[in-house]
Amino acid sequence: MGWNGKTLKAMREEVDRLTEESGYYAGLKELPFKQSDPIRFEKIFSKLRGGLVHARETAKRVAASPIVEQEGELCFTLYTPEGDSIVTSTGIIIHVGTMGAAIKYMVNHNYEENPGIEPGDIFCNNDCQIGNVHPCDVHTIVPIFWAGEVVGWVGGVTHVIDTGATGPGSMTVGPVTRYDDGYQIACRKIGKNDILSQDWVIESQRSVRTTKYWLLDERTRIAGCHMIRDLVLGIISEEGVDSYRQFTREVIEEGRRGLINRVKAMTIPGKYRQVSFVDIPYRHEDVEVPPYAKVDTIMHAPSEITIHPSGQMELDFSGSSRWGWHSYNATTVSFTSGIWVMLTQTLIPNDRINDGAYFATKFDLPYGAWMNPDDIRTAHSYAWHFLVSAWSPLWRGLSRAYFARGYIEEVNAGNANTSNWLQGGGYNQYGDIHAVNSFEAAAEGMGACAVKDGLDHACAIWNPEGDMGDMEIWELAEPLVYLGRSIKPNTGGYGKYRGGCGYESLRMVWGAEDWTMFFMGNGYISSDCGLMGGYPAASGYRFEAHGTDLKERFANRLPFPQGGDARPADAGYEQVLQADVVKRDKQAITTEQIFENHDLYLNYLRGGPGFGDPLERNPKDVEKDLNGGYLLPEYAQKVYGAVFTKDERGHYQVDEVATQKRQQEIRKERLARGVPTREWMKTERERIVAKDAAVQVRHMYATSFEITPKFLEEFKEFWDLPVDWNLLEQELEMPTFGSSHRMVNKQK
Amino acid sequence: MAEYDRATIEELIDGTIDFFKLKEMLSSFKDPGRFDTYIEVLQDRVKWQDRILLPYGLHLYVVQKTDGKRMIKCDCGHEFCDANDNWKLHALVYVRDTEDRVQELYPEYLAPDPKWQVIREYYCPTCATQLEVEAVTPWYPVIHDFQPDIDGFYKEWLGRPVPDPAG
C-alpha cells in the first residue's frame, strides 16, 4: 500500500539504503522540483506549514486541560509513508522524531498485514521504548490515503495530565520501572472510519485519573490530524500526487542541507566539550521506592561537539552514566529529537524543522547509558529532568562558536534546570478524582547572553512558547490557592550579564480530599556551569508545611505566610505560622507526601546561568537588580563588589567610584587565594587515588567507566593514575541491581 | 543579506546596543562580513601587536606570533599556552569545596552541596579576571572547552589562507 505498489517496509529500507549510499536524503543529489519551480515549491511548503500551525491553534481550543490550552503543550507533524517528518507545527516539536519513531515501528512490524492500515484508521502510542519521551505525551497517528495508497501520516501529540502511574500527575517521580510508569499504549489501532472504538474509550477512561481531560485531549489530537489530512488531500488534488511525493523528498533533503549551511555560516569547525549533572538523592526517607532503588547517585552527561569542515556535526555523549532505577531515563529518539527543540532557538531559527537536520548529524549515545538503556525495565515518567539538563551544555558549546565568529548576540550560557514541577492529585475542589501538573515550570530564568542578561522568569527551552499561565486559571484547575508569587532573588547565575532569575509560588491546599503532592527538582547540585567567567544558577531546596494553624489565623485575622521566601535560611514563613511539620531542606526530590487542607507547598522555579566575570557588571545594572528584588544586598557586595547606600524609602544607590576600588581589592584577593591549576591537581589526585569522595560521586564515575572504557582511560591519563586503577560499582556500599544482569531491550 | 557598520558591532560588543536594534539583528539573516569587522574592532582595542586569529572567549584570543606560533592570550597581555593546550591548566584556580565557600556566593539552601558538587573559578594570573567557572563533581578532569580548527575555518569556510605571520 506504499508508493507504486511497494510495501511501507520496502519503502523504509529503500530510503535508508539510498541515504546511506549517497549521503543525501533518499539519494537526492539534486533538487529538480525546487530548482525548476521554486515558487511552486515554496507555495506548497507555506500551505503545509501554515495549515499545521492553524490546525494546532484551532484544535487546542477543543482541550480543557490548561497544559494544552494555556501552555500549548501540543504539536502536529506530517510524515512520509516511511515515517520521516516533512513539516511540523509550532509547540512541543521534540515529537517531530518521536511520532516518526512510532510510525517506523508500525512500518517495521508489518502493520500493513496485521492489524491492517486502512483509510479512517486511528492509531495511538505513548510507549517510550517504541518512540516517546515520557508516557504522558500521547500520540494520535492517522494514515493519509490517496487512490488506495498511503501517501503519508499525520501525528498529533498532547501532554496529558495523568497516565495512571503509581503516583498522580503527568511526570510522576515515584516510578522506578516501566511497570510503574502507568498506562502504556504500544502503537495500537484505536479507531476505524474516523471513529474511536468503544472498547478503547472504555479502557482508556478506566486507566487514568483525569478522564475528562484525557477525552478532550484525544479529541484535540484527532481534530488536528483530520484538519491536516484534509489539507494534504487538497494540496494533492491541486498539485498532483507525483509533485507532492517529489516535494516531500526534496524538502527533507533541503532541511539536511539547511543545517549544514547554518553550521558553516554561524560556527567555527573544531571540538567543543562540556558537561552537566543532576543529583539523584534516593536514600532519603521521603523517597519511597523499592530497596534496590534506594541509592544516591548522580546523572553524568559529558558531551563533545565536533564540527567538521564539511559542516557535518557529531554529538558524542561517551562517558554518560548508566540508566538507573528512577524516573528519569530517556530513549535515543527523545534525546536526539529534543536537540532540535534547542537548535530551533539558536542555530536553525526557521520553520524548516524536519528529519533533514537529523540526517545531517551523527550521534554517539553509549548503549546502556541513561539516554540509551539496554534494558526494557527502565522508567521514563520524568525523562525531561535529565534531558533538559544534558542539552543545556550543548547551547554553551555552540555559544563558544558564536562568540568566536562574532555573532555574540546569539550566545546563551544555558538554560535553567526546569524545576520544580508541582504535581500531585487526589479528590479536587469539585469532588472529582484529579491530578495536577502545574506548568509554571514553563517560565524559568534564561541563560545570560554575551550582550544582555537572560530573561527573568520567562523561558523554558523545551517549549519555545512557554508561559507561566495565569494564577486564576491554575486555581480553577488545582485545589491550591496562591498565597504568593514572587521573583526569586539570587537564583540567576551571576556575571557581567546575569542569568535570568526564577520565581516562586506559595500554594495552600484548599478544598481537596485524600490529596498528595511531591517535589521534583535539582537540590544538591546546580545542573549547569556558567560561561566565560559567569557563575552557574543557584541550586534547589524544598519548603512544605503540614498541620498548620492557617485556618485559625484566617479566622482571627492574624498574619500568615505570603509572598516569597527570599532568604530561605531566615525561615520567614515560619515566623507567622505554627505547623506540626515543616520540611525546609535540600531534598528537592520526593515521592508522594500527604497534604491536608491548609498545608503549604512552595513551588520554586529555577534561574539560568551567567556570562562573564561579575566584576565587569555595570554598577547601574547591579543597582537595578537590588531595586528590582533580583539580588540580595550582601551578595551585591560579595559577588559584584558593589558599594551602595539605601535611602529611607528603601531605594539602593551604587557608588561607582567606591565600587571600582572594592573590585580592585577583590582582584587582589583572587590572586592571593588562587593556586596554579597544576599544583591543585596534585592534591586532587591524592584524593582520587585514596577513592576519597561521597558514594554518589563514586557511583557516578563507576557507571560511566563501565559503559565507556575510553572515558576511564582518559580519566586515568588526565590524573596520571596507576595503570591498574579502576573503580567498580561492586566496590560501593550500595545496591547494584541492574549493574550486571540485563533484560535486554529486544523491542527496538 | 544583512550588513552592519562598525559602530553597531562596537555597540554590540559593549552591550550598549538598543534593544529594538538587537531584536532586529536576532530576527534577521546574519551578516557574512561580521567576523572581519569584529576582529578589526577587537584588534584595535588590545594593547599588544600580535595578530588575533580567533576570539577564544571573553578576554581570550588565539593569536599568531611573528614566528608563526599560535598562543592563547588574555587581553591584559598574559600568554597562557600553545593554542592547542588547555589554558585552564596554566591559570590560577580557586575551588569552592566547603559550605562556607559556596555560601559566599549563594544564600544557604540555594548553594550546591560540596559533597555532590564543587565550583572551580579560573583566574588570569596577571589581571585576575575570572575567565571561566566550572560546576562539577569532585575529581572531575579540568574541561578542555574548545579546540578550534583554525586552518579549516580560514581555508575552507572563509576561503582564504590563515594570515601570514610576517604580515
- The pLDDT score that the predictor gives to residue A183 is 96
Q: Which of B11, B43, B137 to mutate to test the interface with A (most CBs of A within 10 A)?
A: B137
B77–A contact, CB cutoff 8 A:
no
Nearest CA in chain A to B115: A694
Q: Do residues A51 and A77 both lie within one domain?
A: yes
Confidence of residue A368 (pLDDT cuts 50, 70, 90): very high
Please give the pLDDT value at position A466.
63
Amino acid letter, residue A615: L
- Shared-domain flag, residues A394 and A440: no
Same domain, A431 and A454: yes
In terms of domains, do A561 and A421 share one?
Answer: yes
For A422-473, the pLDDT digits (tens) are 999 999 999 999 999 888 998 999 999 999 999 999 988 877 666 788 899 8
Residues A435 and A489 in one domain: yes
Answer whether residue A18 is part of any domain: no
Q: A256, A279, A296 — which closes off a domain?
A: A256
Say yes or no to pLDDT of A745 above 60: no
Residue A15 included in any domain: no
Residue A385 in 3-state DSSP?
Answer: helix
Question: What does the pLDDT look like over A487-530, one tens digit per residue?
Answer: 999 999 999 999 999 999 999 999 999 999 999 999 999 998 99
Q: Using the predicted structure, report yes or no on whether residue A746 has a pLDDT greater than 60.
A: no
Domain-terminating residue out of A612, A629, A658: A612
Q: Does A544 touch chain B (CB under 8 A)?
A: no
**B95-138: per-residue pLDDT in tens?**
999 999 999 999 999 999 999 999 999 999 999 999 999 999 99
Check whether residue A355 and residue A418 sit in a common domain.
Answer: no
Residue A31 is assigned to a structural domain of this protein: no
B154–chain A Cβ distance below 8 A for any pair: no
Shared-domain flag, residues A381 and A319: yes
> Any idea what the Cα angle at residue B114 is, between residues B109 and B116, rounded to 5°?
100
Count the domains in chain A.
4
- B45 interfacial to chain A (CB closer than 8 Å): no
**pLDDT given at position A265:** 95
Nearest CA in chain A to B148: A270
Q: H or E segment at A166?
A: none
Mean pLDDT, residues A175-198 taken together: 97
- Give dist(CA A339, CA A316) in Å, integer: 13
Query: What pLDDT does residue A217 have?
Result: 96
- Within a domain: A585: yes
Q: Which of A400, A668, A678 sits opposite B145 (nearest CB)?
A: A400
What was the pLDDT predicted at B167? 60
Is B2 an 8 Å CB contact of chain A? no
> A88 to chain B, minimum CA–CA distance in Å?
20
Among A271, A404, A611, select the one facing B56 at the smallest CB separation.
Answer: A404
Same-domain check for residues A479 and A591: yes
Q: How far is B65 from chain A (nearest CA, A)?
A: 19
| A620 at interface of B, judged by CB pairs closer than 8 A | no
Q: Could you tell me the pLDDT band of residue A748, with boundaries at 50, 70 and 90? A: very low
B104 near A CB under 8 A: yes
Supply φ then ψ for residue A31, to 5 degrees. Answer: -120, 75
* Residue A747 confidence (pLDDT) above 90: no
Q: Does A8 map to a domain?
A: no
**B89 closest CB neighbour out of A277, A528, A678:** A678
Which pLDDT band, with edges at 50, 70 and 90, does A403 fall under?
very high
Minimal C-alpha gap between A590 and chain B (Å):
16
**Per-residue cell: B20:** 529594538
Same domain for A233 and A328, yes or no, is: no
Q: What pTM, to 2 d.p., does this model score?
A: 0.96
In angstroms, the separation between the Cα of residue B83 and the nearest Cα of chain A is 12
Q: Do A496 and B90 touch (CB under 8 A)?
A: no
Q: How far apart are CA A489 and CA B106, in angstroms?
A: 10
**What percent of chain B stands above pLDDT 70?**
99
For chain A, the average pLDDT equals 95
Interface of A with B in 53-112 (CB under 8 A): none
Interface of B with A in 10-39 (CB under 8 A): 12-13, 15, 17, 22, 25-26, 30, 32, 34-35, 37-39
Contact assignment for B125 to A450 by CB distance below 8 Å:
no
Chain A residues touching B78 at Cβ < 8 A: none
Place of cell 520524568: A382
* Inter-chain CB proximity B35 and A667 less than 8 Å: no
Q: Is the predicted pLDDT of residue A201 greater than 90, yes or no?
A: yes
Q: Can you give the residue range of the structural domain that contains A637?
A: 614-673
Q: Any idea which of A93-107, A341-355, B146-160 has the lowest mean pLDDT?
A: A341-355
pLDDT at A128 over 70: yes
A490: nearest CA partner in chain B:
B106
Based on its alpha-carbon atoms, the radius of gyration of chain B, rounded to whole angstroms, reads 19
Model ipTM value? 0.98
Minimum CA–CA partner of B58 in chain A: A532
Mean pLDDT in residue range A696-721:
97
Q: How far apart are CA A161 and CA A152, in angstroms?
A: 29
Q: pLDDT at residue A96 above 90?
A: no
Enumerate long-range contacts of A34-42, CB under 8 Å, 24 or more apart. A34/A250, A34/A254, A40/A239, A40/A243, A41/A247, A41/A250, A41/A251
* pLDDT, tens digit (0-9, with 9 covering 90-100), for A629-652: 999 999 999 999 999 999 999 999
**β-pairing, A361-364 with A313-316?**
parallel
Of A105-114, A302-311, A429-438, B134-143, least confident by mean pLDDT is A429-438
Cβ contacts (< 8 Å) between A540 and chain B: which residues? 110
- For the stretch A713-727, pLDDT in tens is 999 999 999 999 999
**What pairs with residue A423 in β-bridges?**
A437, A518
> A524–B117: do the CB atoms touch at under 8 Å?
yes
pLDDT of residue A345: 79
Residues of A in contact with B158 (CB under 8 A): none
Closest partner CB to A451 (pick from B15, B59, B111): B15
Whether residue A680 and residue B93 make contact (CB cut-off 8 A), yes or no, is yes
Q: Is residue A17 part of a domain?
A: no
Verify that A220 and A79 share a domain, yes or no.
yes
| Predicted confidence (pLDDT) per residue in A606-624, tens digit | 999 999 999 999 999 999 9
SS3 (DSSP) at B3: coil
A453 has a chain B CB within 8 A of its CB: no
Q: Is B110 exposed, middle or buried (0-12, 13-18, 19+ CB in 10 A)?
A: buried
Under an 8 A CB cutoff, do B148 and A569 touch? Answer: no
Chain B contact for A409 (CB, 8 A cutoff): yes
pLDDT at A65 > cutoff 70:
yes
CB nearest B94 (choices: A279, A673, A696):
A673
The CA distance from B118 to the nearest CA of chain A, in Å, is 9
CB A499 within 8 A of CB A413: yes
The mean per-residue pLDDT over the stretch A529-548 comes to: 98
φ/ψ of A505, rounded to 5, equals -125, 130
User: Strand ranges (DSSP E) for A382-476?
Assistant: 422-427, 433-438
A699 shares its domain with A651: no
E runs forming strands in A147-219: 149-159, 188-192, 195-196
A715:B91 CB<8 A: no
Q: Which of B112, B133, B141 sits opposite A718 (nearest CB)?
A: B141
Q: Determine contact: B132 vs chain A, CB below 8 A.
A: yes
Summarised one tens digit per residue, pLDDT across range A382-394 is 999 999 999 999 9
- The mean per-residue pLDDT over the stretch A702-710 comes to 95
* Residue-level pLDDT at B164: 85
Crossing angle, helix B6-14 and helix B34-45, to 10 degrees?
A: 60
Q: Name chain A contacts of B142, Cβ cutoff 8 Å.
A: 677, 681, 718
- Among A571, A593, A612, which residue terminates a domain? A612
Q: Does B133 touch chain A (CB under 8 A)?
A: yes
Percent of chain A with pLDDT over 70: 99
Same domain assignment for residues A424 and A442: yes
- Listing from the earlier edge strand, what are the strands of the sheet with A579-585? A480-487, A503-509, A600-605, A542-548, A579-585
Q: Does A352 fall in a domain?
A: yes
* In-domain check, residue A690: yes
